[in-house]
Amino acid sequence: MTALASVRGRAMSLAGTFAGLALGVALIAMSLLVYVSSAPRPPERLSAAPVLVHGPVLPDAAGVGGGVRPWPAAEAENLAARLARLPGVAAAVPDRSFYAQLVVAGRPVGDAEDAGAGHGWSSAALGAYRLLAGTAPEADGEVAAGTATGLAVGDRTTLLTGGGPTEATVTGLVDGPGVYVSDAAAARLSPGVAAIGLLLDPGADPAAVATAARAAAPGATVSTGADRAALEPAQSAKTRWLGAQLLIAMASLAVFVTVFVVASTFALSTAQRRRELGLLRTVGATPRQIRRLVMGEALLVGVAGGLAGALLGVAAAVPAGRLLVHWGLAEPGLRVRPEPVPVLAAVLVGVAVALIGAYAAARRAAKVPPMAALREAAVEARSMGLGRWLLGGGTLALGGFLALRTATAAAEDRVNAALFAAMALTAAAALLAPVLLPPLVRLAGLPLRGARGAGAMLVRAETLAAVRRTAATAAPVIATIGFAVLLSGMVATMREAYPAGQAAKLAGVTIAVPDGTPGLAATAVAAGGNSVLPTRVYAGDVSVAAFGTTGGPTSVAAGVADALGVRPGDAVTVTFADGLAERLTIEKITPDGQVDDDLILPRELVRRHDPAALAPSLLGADPAALAGQPGVEVLDARAYAEREGAEDGRLLWLFATVLIVLSVGYTGIAVANTMAMSVDGRRPDLAVLRRAGATSRQLLRYAAAETLLVVALGTGLGLAVTVPPLLGMAAGLEQEVGAAVALRLHWPVTAATVLATAVLATAAALVATRRAAR
């Protein structure tokens, strides 16, 4: 018998496996296409400059992140003058970015997260933004605004900058985003220049101009084409990173659950085909041929499911990209285009997953003896082999270790540790289900011992007589309930823990926070209170997040100190946002992991070198002193804690909702498929019951009862495997926030997931039983 013939003969039983694989490959292909399309892009406002000359892009101490080291104003102007004389260069424009927002009807307008929306008027040419009305700003107190602000030429408005609010007149309207002031005003607000854009003459070759620019600006970085993405704004990089986390989580879930589905369905199929496999052995098939037969079936289903899933993933990629943009997890200009490499990779992953999932079943099938063809009873000789015992015990030990590790993991690693622990424990529950389920079935049957009729006895006996089949049908239920409980409980616990911890630390304190702006200006900070002033500096070849504070020594975090090779008492040259360098003496090294501690500097030093710096908050603020200042709101400790966690809570719930829906929908296919296969393999049992006088209604009730029992057992095991990781995470959160943290399970989500799983499983079992009974 060939694998193709075997697949044709069992098309119905493999339909669920095919659907699961197709959906998994679709998710992987969709995620890869959106991920590839979300690659860093040159900033839109610099798109008209084919060549960008900028300082070196330096990573942080961890080797990630980065920033562009700026030039001082005088050096940048001299360099721009040299570059403007190059052949083919029409203009060399120093680009300055700083915080600027306009106030309309008492509220700041524009992106509340954009701390670099302000530019000098010359920078408008780098994005090919046109002046639609009025004139360009030429003096202090004049601005050009985007049409989206709703302002008109001649309007008086308030301009917010790092120094505070000032009155301004709108002299012009442009067809692009941003706030534009005169070049002289921009030079005061942002003295340092991170990039110089080169506008070329018609027909000029960007590559030739770039070569000439490298010779004219030794030590500078010259970027063309896609390399200009090195100047991507920090907010865009953060948005892209958040979207990538969701895409990676979706693809990882698809791979894990697909392996789970394929393994459970092939395990059930192998158990039901023992006589068929025994007959093949009787007529001369070797164990290797049996193994090749099962793996061939998996290969064919994997290829078919992979191709179907690839087409579905390509079709879903564009809507998925739009959805990410709507959720704020991708840039508005995202364009998803079909590309062959990600699609081919998704298909190959689907085939590999199918083979991996079917491998254990193939090995078990190869061990079926020829005498199995003569068996009359379907009672299994033993529920588990040695290999399954070892693998199940190993994953259980690994899951327990990871659950304990969750409590001590670093804050940024805690979620991943809990996920990996839950995956390991879920796999352990599925592998050990044949030995875990019988005692649970007996325990569940105790209250029904005195029940009238033979229904309860039949359900109990059938479940215990075929524990492998029961385990295979319970496996997708365990995965579904486990993921739903884990993700919803994780989010619910974190949403309670972080605000509670922060509110406890700030009890009795009033806090001023930005309201529609990315930070607090100098005038708000001057009203009194405690705050830090963040900026970015450059020491050696490292980009460092620095924080200006009042009082205290100049200190550096241990990780940054190691990257710079400095110790207390050493001097280090630091380049600031204005491009100027100062020699600083390190007085103290602090442990890693503290908040705002990479480099602590005097606040007046930060303000002198970075006039556009904004404070994230102001502790101990005086509401009366801040009254009337635009873009400022004063909160108590609890309101502040909830406000700070609102965006993180939104993203967490968004991630959890997407993954729970995928988990329920995905494993719903597996639940329906395994239930249908289970019923289909018991046609002889149903025929015996019909001959013994059972009616169709009784058979349906019997099938529903057995299905609900399996769902209940799977729900119990799903809860059992997720509670330890959640307890570990809660213990770690309690240590982190310094307040009592109780485990929170989101019971509405759990109940809805259990109900949906029960409905899907029962419907599949009833449909299959009705068809088999006929």
Q: What confidence tier does 261 reach under pLDDT thresholds 50, 70, 90?
A: confident
In angstroms, the CA 624 to CA 632 distance is 12
Residue pointed to by tokens 């900026």: 535
Torsions phi, psi for 717 (to 5 deg)? -70, -35
The helix/strand/coil state of 327 is coil
Which pLDDT band, with edges at 50, 70 and 90, does 217 fall under? very high
Q: What is the DSSP string of 441-462?
A: HHHHHGGGTT-SSSHHHHHHHH
pLDDT in tens, 50-73: 999 999 999 888 777 678 999 999
- Is residue 407 scored above 80 in pLDDT? no
The C-alpha atoms of residue 323 and residue 416 are separated, in whole angstroms, by: 25
Q: Label residue 91 by pLDDT band (50, 70, 90).
A: very high
- Beta carbons of 542 and 573 less than 8 angstroms apart: no
pLDDT at res. 383: 63
The pLDDT, as a whole number, for residue 46 is 92
The larger pLDDT score, comparing residue 336 to residue 419, is at 336
User: What does the pLDDT look like over 567-579, one tens digit per residue?
Assistant: 999 999 999 999 9
Percent of the chain at pLDDT > 70 equals: 89
Specify whether the CB–CB gap between 559 and 62 falls below 8 A.
yes
Tell me the pLDDT band of 8, cut-offs 50, 70 and 90. very low
Q: What percent of the chain has pLDDT over 90?
A: 34
* Contacting residues for 124 by C-beta, under 8 A, at least 6 apart: 131, 144, 174, 176, 178, 180
Distance between CA atoms of residues 678 and 462, nearest Å: 11
- Tens digits of per-residue pLDDT, 604-659? 999 999 999 999 999 988 888 888 889 999 998 888 888 887 877 888 888 888 88
Q: At residue 84, does pLDDT exceed 90?
A: yes
DSSP state of 530: B
Residue 7: pLDDT band by 50, 70, 90 thresholds?
Answer: very low
